[in-house]
Amino acid sequence: MMLVDSHCHLDQLDLTQDNESLTSVLNEAWSEQIKHILSVGLDLVQSKKVINIASTYPNVSCSVGVHPTESADESGVHYSVAQLEEKLIELGSHSKVVAIGETGLDFYRDSNEETKKNQSDKFRAHIRAAKILKKPLIIHTRQAQNETLNIMAEENAAEIGGVMHCFTESLTMAQACMAMNFCISFSGIVTFKNAIDLQHLAQKIPLEKILIETDAPYLAPMPFRGKTNRPSYVKYVAEKIAELRGDTLESIAYNTTKNYFDLFYLSDRSVYVNVAQR
């Protein structure tokens, strides 16, 4: 059996509390059958960090992007939308970069017109860069369903597809995203006792469209809710989805792993091939 953590932030892990190393965290994940990890950039500085991490560890891929609530500035330099697109193309050309993002729209805390325009402009720049690089998108959306779908359609995001990360929105939105060649990714939230709607959604999404993730160090699944999340905990997401769908853990592991490598086709799939051939 093999699992993939399709979305985490290795550069954000606090390794000082228990005097850990990133190597030990990755070894722990490996021992739990998590054989590949995608570390996602949250801004331009952190995107460079995840490139360095992915370049060090063969079983780690990465993405570059600017989270909708983060600034596109870098070391005091302000980037225009056009300059951001150029920067994303520059960073995204690295061989270990398999996707562009995390990008999208998040109007949860701030939905004034200036915020909406700023986030929308950045989102469009990411989609354009992804299409030029021919690499899929990693999209974050929160309380911005219509606006997210409209921009995806207007910019023809279906051309390169991608994943709706840590999805918590409606079935209607999920269906619209899948129609545009996007997978739906479930995080530890699906294990929460009060996540009834999301659990129902996990039963309805076609298996060939499902990915699993931790979003570590955030959103630890049950029974670790409230604690620091780790890539090794993605197995709890897989187990919950198997339970909800009346399926086996092995089936969920196989299909979500296959879905990952089909989508993020530039990831090193040598381990996947070796496991699949057994």
Q: How far lies 255's CA from each of 80, 134, 178, 251, in Å?
A: 40, 24, 16, 6
DSSP character for 80?
P
Q: Residue 55 contacts by C-beta under 8 Å, 6 or more apart in sequence?
A: 96
Q: Is residue 276 pLDDT above 70, yes or no?
A: no
- % the chain with pLDDT above 70: 98
DSSP character for 77?
B
User: Rounded to an integer, what distance in angstroms lies between the CA atom of residue 76 and that of residue 65?
Assistant: 17
Q: Is residue 277 pLDDT above 60, yes or no?
A: no
Report CA 56 to chain centroid distance, whole Å.
20
- The CATH number covering residue 14 comes to 3.20.20.140
Q: Is residue 273 pLDDT above 60, yes or no?
A: yes
Q: Which has more pLDDT, 15 or 163?
A: 163
Burial of 248 (0-12, 13-18, 19+ CB in 10 A): exposed
Q: Residue 114 contacts by C-beta under 8 Å, 6 or more apart in sequence?
A: none
Q: Is residue 120 pLDDT above 80, yes or no?
A: yes
User: Rounded to an integer, what distance in angstroms lies between the CA atom of residue 13 and that of residue 277?
Assistant: 33
Summary mean pLDDT of the chain: 95
pLDDT tens column, 172-224: 999 999 999 999 999 999 999 999 999 999 999 999 999 999 999 999 999 99
Q: Is residue 96 pLDDT above 80, yes or no?
A: yes
User: How many C-beta neighbours within 10 Å does residue 154 have?
Assistant: 11
pTM above threshold 0.95? yes
DSSP character for 165?
T
Q: Which has more pLDDT, 257 or 73?
A: 257
* Residue range of the domain that includes 232: 3-276
Q: Is residue 39 pLDDT above 80, yes or no?
A: yes
Report the number of distinct structural domains present in the chain: 1
Helix ranges (H only) for the chain are 22-31, 44-56, 81-92, 113-133, 145-154, 171-179, 196-204, 234-245, 249-263, 270-276
Rounded average pLDDT over 68-88: 90
Beta bridge partners of 34: 3
Per-residue confidence (pLDDT) for residue 194, from 0 to 100: 97
